[in-house]
Structures are given as C-alpha cells and as structure tokens.
Amino acid sequence: MKLFANKEKDYTVIIGCGHLGSTLATDISDRGRSVLIIDRDEDAFRKLSLSPFSNIVPLTGDGTDMEVLNCEHIDKALWIVIVTGNDNTNIMIAQMVKEILKKDCVIAGVHDPQCECLYHEFGIRMLSPTALFANEVCNRLMESSKEAM
C-alpha cells in the first residue's frame, strides 16, 4: 500500500480519531500537508470531512498492535502524534514507537499530568490538553483582573 508515494517524508501520522485527533488532522490537511490517521473504530472517521481534495487518509487498525506500528507508513512519517482517549494507551504506544521503531519524532497527549514522570524518563514529548486549558484560563483571568484594576 503506497499512500504517499510522491512525498513520502512529508506526512504526519495521527493515532486516535477522537475530537482531538480529527480536529488536528483537519487542521494539518487544511494547511496542505498529508495526514494518515489510524483508529480501530471505522465509525470514528465520520468526524472527518473526507472530500476528494482532503489530504487525510484514514486507516482502520489498532494503534497498540505491533503489526500496525511496524508498517512502513509509520516508519517513514515525519511526525507521529498519539491522541487516543486513554492516557495509558498513549504512553504505551509512544514507548513502543520510540523503543522498537527507534523514532524520536513522537508527541503524545496526556490528560492527567500525574504520569508525567514516565514521559520524562523515556524522553517522550508530552502535551497535556488539561494543563494547556488550565494555563489559558489562568492567563485570561489574570489579564481580566489587571484590566479591572
């Protein structure tokens, strides 16, 4: 299966097509970049607008399965973003990609920052939507209280 034969080093793999994964895939595609999005539930791809002009390729498969991760598309991807709905699953996939496929270009989403130490230990880039939201709300509150003074 040659999904991105012409520009094989210029695509992103997203594992997990929930709200976060589908929004991210659409954003990247709108900027003219190719995306391979993987989810074990085919229905999850209904969140995407897969027009003939879209740069998104959906692939049904379990992101925790070694056979899915070992495929050449993951190996050749520019970035791999892991945003399934489960923090522990994200940690496991990120570690599998890093330790077995020896790829450093991994970003994993984690909602509960409690397990942050595991990301640091294994050198995995982590982004917490919870921390980002809290930080943004906090900044806005500080800004509005400054304006009120």
- Smallest distance from another protein to CB 20, Å: 18
# residues near another protein by CB under 8 A: 20
112 contributes a contact to another protein by CB under 8 A? yes
Dihedral angle, C-alpha 118, 123, 126, 131, nearest 10 °:
60
Contact 78, 105 (CB under 8 A): yes
131 contributes a contact to another protein by CB under 8 A? no
**Which of 86, 81, 85 is CA-nearest to residue 124?**
81
**Ranges within 72-101 binding another protein (CB under 8 A):** 86-89, 91-92, 95-96, 99-100
Cα–Cα distance, 79 to 100 (Å, whole number): 16
Sites of contact with another protein (CB under 8 A): 64-67, 86-89, 91-92, 95-96, 99-100, 112, 114-115, 117-118, 121
